[in-house]
Chain A
Amino acid sequence: MPIKKVMKANEAAAWAAKLAKPKVIAAFPITPSTLVPEKISEFVADGELDAEFIKVESEHSAISACVGASAAGVRTFTATASQGLALMHEILFIAAGMRLPIVIAIGNRALSAPINIWNDWQDTISERDTGWLQFYAENNQEALDLILIAFKVAEDERVLLPAMVGFDAFILTHTVEPVEIPDQELVDEFLGEYVPKHAYLDPAKPITQGALGFPAHYMEARYGVWEANEAAKKVIDEAFAEFEKKFGRKYQKIEEYRTEDADIIFVTMGSLAGTLKEYVDHLREKGLKVGAAKVTVYRPFPVEEVRELAKKAKVLALLEKNVTFSVGGALFQDFSRALINESEKPKIVDFILGLGGRDVTFKDLDEALAIAQKALNGEKVEEVNWIGLRKEIL
């Protein structure tokens, strides 16, 4: 029988790791993710998790050790955030290029400068082109579930890509919620043992991993990562379906909320989706035709699902905790890409908000709504809008 425990998302991530039974974990502490390796080292110390825990001297070495372990053919896991993920950047490309199914839990945190430990998504968003799969959790339960799903998808032979699961700094990492811990036997069934067929560093069958790719081969290797990302779309759907069957919780790449007959659909990721759903309820009570959508899978980008969503609204209002300078948010770019060749498409208005842990309140959302409504009425609005800026200190 699954048990329910009240825990932080960091603990949920550590529980997911325990259930997935990785053989090697290498991690370096960084706020807000520190509790993940702490909890895992407790599991290892108590013999509840039979794994090697490498107390590396940096995040660069954490991911490098994970690459070494994964290349030797074992399931590996780590956790980090922000500057730590940025320090891993170089090796993230390599892990994906070498097709190693490592899973990282990320407490999504802003990047310096100024140094800031609170939530936004700039850390993982900045790694969107590394080839890694990206999942974003709305709550602590999702943090646990998505890590298990990430292992399942990453290790699928049709995919073989590393995956990261983000959950918002403090809003989730340090906030307790009831979380259902699935049965170990069911998780074992769901994940199975990882048996590598392409990376094993075995003296009995020596192979060379990580060779130099000349122009004659490099593009094909990169295309392999592209194809694997494409293949992951179906594999993720299958994993979601199997997860729902086994554990009763339903996931979708893009989850919709009260989008029926909506004129305006707000779209976001992570914990902000929780706030947004309440906000939509509040607007519906007032008779406004507004819905919400949550992007759970950001890489591979769910182009088809975005197109389906777009058919339902006249305005898509994107709420993003990240910036691509002079362009807008990352979702804005990706939604634009998905819709550019559609003959009928909604207007897309982009909102940048909540950076560095700034609270996103109903008042902020009202500000966004007012702009979205103008767009709906055919008035001209800015494509990219910063919400909740303290103009008096600019």
Chain B
Amino acid sequence: MAVRKPPVTTREYWAPGHAACAGCGCATALRLATKAFSEAMEEKYGDPDAFAIAHATGCMEVVSAVFPYTAWKAPWIHVAFENAAAVASGIEAAWKKLGRKGKILAIGGDGGTADIGMQALSGMLERWHNVVYLMYDNEAYMNTGIQRSSSTPYGAWTTTSPPGKYSIGEDKPKKWVALIAAAHQIPYVATASIGNPFDFIRKMKKAAKVDGPAFVQVQCTCPTGWKSPLEKGVEIARLAIETGVWPLFEIENGDIWNIKIQAPGGGAKVKREGGRVVAIEFKKPIEEYLKLQGRFKHLFKQPEAIDQLREQIKAMWKVLGVEVTLPKPGE
């Protein structure tokens, strides 16, 4: 009987038994990321295990390594909140001296990456360490109880951006960390989503195989912090792509003028010029994405706030070189 090769290795590095909430999209992201990494190591070095992980403090760290248990089947270290990139730099340097082949994977949440860890990340990228930095972006500080980060989107409720008489929720647009990473002119930068797992796997493998630093920012859902249904994580993540809220792209060799924008699906019409995406007409309104999440519930009482968010998303796409049309519901 013919057995089909599974689309990604059956090896597990993020083992069952971690303590993440039910439906945690970030846990899914780490499982896929480590599998993809292992495949890349096998293809590049002939050894699927040729990697070590440096992990920043945060939800995924705390739920995976509660002494005397561990969910990790790879060499793994946690040091502090802001320094996964610096710790990874040290491991990479040590491996170089030990003559050990392989690559280091640094993992941080949006807080540990976009905020407090930004300096260490920049240093690591600029020094050209052979490290993949994976930012799992659940768009808030979840481990400390859902506070806003600079990666929290406009309008979102968090415990430190509560909507109120004088507040719409988070009042700043989301920080574009992938573009900041790309400004370091490193070999590979990508955004990804658990809403498109095969694309994510492909990108992690690509990142793991380049020589030098790479940065991948994966949007992943957090039912606890997003106040969303447990079973709808992948659906919500996919809607983020299909409504234009979360762009998927790749930037190679620091060529930020040559951003490879991916078609979002969901019926969106993509216009290309010379192979390059220049315009996208989205069919699904962002409301479809927002309405599944309690963190945006209050916005529906103030539709002008949603319009404001639409304008910000357009502006963000413009930076990426793409003119977008974002419909309102019923349009």
Contacts and interface: CB of A to CB of B under 8 A. Distances in A.
Interface string B194-232: 000000000000000000000000000000000000000
A248 interface: no
Given A61-B83, A64-B86, A65-B93, A206 B73 contact: yes
Interface in B104-145: 119-120, 122-123, 126-127
A57 B129 CA distance: 13
A54 B76 contact: no
A47 interface: no
Contacts of A66: 90
Given A56-B89, A61-B86, A68-B89, A212 B94 contact: no
A209 B77 contact: yes
Given A57-B123, A65-B86, A211-B70, A91 B91 contact: no
A229 B87 CA distance: 25
Chain A CB within 10 Å, residue with most, of B62, B78, B97: B97
A26 B75 contact: no
A72 interface: yes
Contacts of A52: 93-94, 96-97
Contact of B90 (A68, A90, A206): A68
A77 B253 CA distance: 33
A210 B77 contact: yes
A128 interface: no
B82 interface: yes
B54 interface: yes
B246 interface: no
A321 B87 CA distance: 34
B79 A94 contact: yes
Contacts of B123: 56-58, 61
Contact of A56 (B47, B86, B91, B98): B86
Contact of B120 (A55, A60, A67): A60
A12 interface: no
B78 A61 contact: no
B62 A212 contact: yes
Interface in A83-110: 90-91, 94, 98
Contact of A69 (B49, B93, B119): B93
Contact of A65 (B62, B72, B78, B90): B90
Chain A interface size range:
35 or more
A211 B78 contact: yes
Contact of B75 (A50, A64, A201): A201
A29 to B, nearest CB: 14
Contacts of A71: 77, 87, 90-91
Contacts of B76: 206-209
A213 interface: yes
A58 B65 CA distance: 28
Contacts of A200: 75
Contact of A206 (B65, B75, B79): B75
B97 A68 contact: no
A52 B94 CA distance: 8
A65 B87 contact: yes
A51 B122 contact: no
B95 interface: yes
B40 interface: no
B21 interface: no
Contacts of B97: 23-24, 50-52, 74
A76 interface: yes
Nearest to B78: A210
Contact of A217 (B68, B91, B98): B68
Chain A CB within 10 Å, residue with most, of B51, B72, B122, B123: B123
Nearest to B95: A72
A132 B179 CA distance: 40
A65 B95 CA distance: 12
Given A57-B119, A57-B120, A203-B51, A64 B79 contact: yes
B66 A211 contact: yes
A57 B89 CA distance: 12
Given A54-B127, A61-B119, A203-B50, A26 B77 contact: no
A214 interface: yes
Contacts of B95: 72
Contact of A72 (B65, B72, B98): B98
Contact of A23 (B82, B87, B94): B94
A90 B90 CA distance: 17
Interface in A268-288: none
Given A57-B120, A203-B74, A210 B65 contact: yes
Given A58-B119, A64-B120, A208 B93 contact: no
B88 interface: yes
Contact of B67 (A57, A68, A217): A217
A43 to B, nearest CB: 15
B187 interface: no
A217 B65 CA distance: 13
B89 to A, nearest CB: 5
Contacts of A72: 52, 90-91, 94-95, 98
A118 to B, nearest CB: 28
B283 to A, nearest CB: 45
Interface in B225-273: none
A191 to B, nearest CB: 17
Nearest to B76: A208
B66 A206 contact: no
Contact of B98 (A26, A58, A74, A94): A74
A202 interface: yes
A24 B79 contact: no
14 contacts: A61-B85, A61-B119, A65-B87, A68-B94, A69-B90, A69-B91, A72-B91, A74-B97, A201-B75, A201-B94, A206-B49, A208-B76, A211-B67, A212-B61
Given A61-B85, A65-B90, 14 more contacts: A23-B97, A26-B90, A56-B86, A56-B89, A56-B123, A58-B120, A61-B89, A61-B123, A64-B86, A68-B79, A68-B94, A71-B90, A206-B74, A210-B77
9 interchain residue pairs of minimum CB distance: A68-B90, A57-B123, A65-B90, A64-B86, A72-B94, A61-B86, A68-B87, A64-B83, A52-B93
